[in-house]
């Protein structure tokens, strides 16, 4: 009896086309072509979710802040030379609410270092390295009390240093791609982030 359907040869060809060498599975996918430190953050997402629920005790009203940030020159404090405050703020606002996606690098989904890369590339016209670890090695170290608008702030959220990065705005606030909330604004004085603050770097002078 002859069975209807694809031949054995055709089936073999189909399976071969879905192998790891197929373009569908190659690492050239723009979302996975890099191996970034943020994988730790992704892997420990459930632990982070539990901890921040307990310890993020300084919640930011992101909706109200978004309206304020949308107004040009909402903040007038010190800004490093070469950094366009209004452009950066508009980019921050445009990313708010974008979901977290490990390896993501767009407004469809983004991880923490992907967010900083996007904003710096667009608003500052500077290309940052793709991983949190590499970004931590850039520029000059900045003490917490000397933070300025646009500085990169780093955290140890997984036990490996550094594992998370954001961009300092002002008033102890920073924008970042949170595993839990997507792109949002948090307070450095929240217990969770205060206890895990690792340092800051100024990459624009």
Lowest-confidence segment of 69-73, 110-114, 128-132 by average pLDDT:
69-73
Calpha distance 163→108 (Å, rounded)? 22
Instruction: Assess whether 164 carries a catalytic annotation.
Output: yes
> Which member of 18, 34, 117, 176 is catalytic?
176
Q: Is 55 helix (H, G, I), strand (E, B) or coil?
A: helix
Dump strand ranges (E) for 126-204: 140-142, 152-155, 164-170, 173-178, 182-187, 197-202
Average pLDDT of the chain to the nearest whole number = 78
Q: pTM to 2 decimals?
A: 0.75
> Which member of 18, 34, 117, 164 is catalytic?
164
The reported pLDDT for the residue numbered 139 is 94
What count of other Cβ atoms lies within 10 Å of the Cβ of residue 155? Answer: 25
Is pLDDT larger for residue 83 or for residue 98?
Answer: 98
The reported pLDDT for the residue numbered 67 is 80
Whether the ω angle into residue 162 lies within 30 degrees of 0, i.e. cis, is yes
Give residue-wise pLDDT tens across range 141-162: 999 999 999 999 999 998 878 9
The reported pLDDT for the residue numbered 45 is 78
Give residue-wise pLDDT tens across range 131-146: 999 999 999 999 999 9
The closest alpha carbon to 202, from 144, 157, 160, belongs to 144
| Phi-psi category of residue 107: left, alpha or beta, with phi > 0 → left and psi -120 to 50 → alpha | alpha
Give residue-wise pLDDT tens across range 25-68: 233 333 333 444 566 777 777 777 778 777 778 888 888 888 88
The model's confidence at residue 79, banded by pLDDT at 50, 70 and 90, is low
> Which member of 18, 34, 112, 117 is catalytic?
112
Instruction: Assess whether 34 carries a catalytic annotation.
Output: no
Mean pLDDT of 68-84: 62
Task: Pick from 7-16, 117-126, 134-143 the range whose average pLDDT is largest.
Answer: 134-143
Instruction: Assess whether 176 carries a catalytic annotation.
Output: yes
The reported pLDDT for the residue numbered 187 is 95
The reported pLDDT for the residue numbered 81 is 58
Lowest-confidence segment of 33-37, 113-117, 200-204 by average pLDDT:
33-37
């Amino acid at each position: 009896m002859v069975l209807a359907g694809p031949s054995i040869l055709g089936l073999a060809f189909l399976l071969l086309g879905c192998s790891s060498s197929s373009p569908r599975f190659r690492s050239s996918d723009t979302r996975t072509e890099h191996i970034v430190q943020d994988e730790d953050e992704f892997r420990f997402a459930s632990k982070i979710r539990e901890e921040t629920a307990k310890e993020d005790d300084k919640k930011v009203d992101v909706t109200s802040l978004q309206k304020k940030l949308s107004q040009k020159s909402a903040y007038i404090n010190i800004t490093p030379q070469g950094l366009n405050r209004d452009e950066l703020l508009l980019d921050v606002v445009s990313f708010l609410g974008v979901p977290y996606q490990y390896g993501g690098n767009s407004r469809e989904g983004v991880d923490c270092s992907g967010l900083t890369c996007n904003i710096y590339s667009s608003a500052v016209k500077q290309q940052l390295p793709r991983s949190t670890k590499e970004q931590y090695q850039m520029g000059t170290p900045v003490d917490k009390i000397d933070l300025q608008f646009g500085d990169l702030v780093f955290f140890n959220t997984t036990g490996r240093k550094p594992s998370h990065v954001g961009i300092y705005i002002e008033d102890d606030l920073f924008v970042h791609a949170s595993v839990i909330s997507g792109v949002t604004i948090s307070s450095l004085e929240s217990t969770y982030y205060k206890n895990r603050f690792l340092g800051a770097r100024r990459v624009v002078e």
